Amino acid sequence: MQFKKICVLGLGYIGLPTASTFATHGIEVVGVDVNRSVIETLRNGGLHIHEPGLRTLVSAALGSGKLRVSETPEPADAYIIAVPTPFTADKRADLNYVRNATEAILPFLSRGELIVLESTSPPGTTAGIVAQILERSGLKAGDDFHLAYSPERVLPGQILRELIDNARVIGGIQPCCAEMGRDLYKIFVRGDIILTDATTAEMVKLMENTYRDVNIAIANEFSRLADRFGIDVWETIQIANRHPRVDILRPGPGVGGHCISVDPWFLVEAAPDLTTLIQAARKVNDQQPQVIVELIQITLKEKGITLSESKIGVLGLTYKADIDDTRESPAIEICARLSRAGASVTAHDPYIGEYPGEDITNHRNLADAVADCDLVVLLVQHTPFKSLVPDDLKKMTRARLIVDAVNILDPGTWQQGGFQVRRLGVGN
Cα distance between residue 399 and residue 410, in whole Å: 18
Q: Does 382 engage in binding with ligand SAJ (CB under 6 A)?
A: no
Q: Is the Cβ of residue 79 or residue 234 nearer to ligand SAJ in the bound state? A: 234
Cα distance between residue 219 and residue 241, in whole Å: 12
**Bridge-based pairing state of the strands 344-348 and 401-404:** unpaired
- Residues within window 315-344 making contact with ligand SAJ, judged by CB under 6 A: 319-320
Q: Which stretch binds ligand SAJ (CB under 6 A): 104-112, 136-144, 244-252, 391-399?
A: 244-252
Q: Which stretch binds ligand SAJ (CB under 6 A): 70-78, 247-255, 302-310, 407-415?
A: 247-255
Told to judge if 373 belongs to the known catalytic residues of this protein, a careful annotator would answer: no
Cα distance between residue 174 and residue 167, in whole Å: 21
The residue from 205, 311, 320, 373 that is catalytic is 205
Q: Does 209 engage in binding with ligand SAJ (CB under 6 A)?
A: yes
CB of 96 to ligand SAJ, least distance (A): 19
Told to judge if 177 belongs to the known catalytic residues of this protein, a careful annotator would answer: no
* Sole binder of ligand SAJ in the list 48, 55, 99, 250 (CB under 6 A): 250
**Bridge-based pairing state of the strands 146-149 and 168-172:** antiparallel
CB of 185 to ligand SAJ, least distance (A): 15
DSSP 8-state symbol, 187 = T
Cα distance between residue 176 and residue 138, in whole Å: 20
- Residues within window 257-276 making contact with ligand SAJ, judged by CB under 6 A: 257, 259-260
- DSSP for 379-413 reads -S--HHHHT--HHHHHHH-S--EEEESS--S-HHH
What length is written for the chain?
A: 428
Q: Does 414 engage in binding with ligand SAJ (CB under 6 A)?
A: no
Q: Does 154 engage in binding with ligand SAJ (CB under 6 A)?
A: yes
Q: Which stretch binds ligand SAJ (CB under 6 A): 55-63, 69-77, 222-230, 248-256?
A: 248-256
> Residue 222: which H helix or E strand, with range?
helix 198-229
Q: Does 201 engage in binding with ligand SAJ (CB under 6 A)?
A: no
Q: Does 252 engage in binding with ligand SAJ (CB under 6 A)?
A: yes
Q: Does 159 engage in binding with ligand SAJ (CB under 6 A)?
A: no
Burial (CB < 10 A; 0-12, 13-18, 19+), residue 198, is buried
CA angle 356, 357, 358 (to 5 degrees): 145
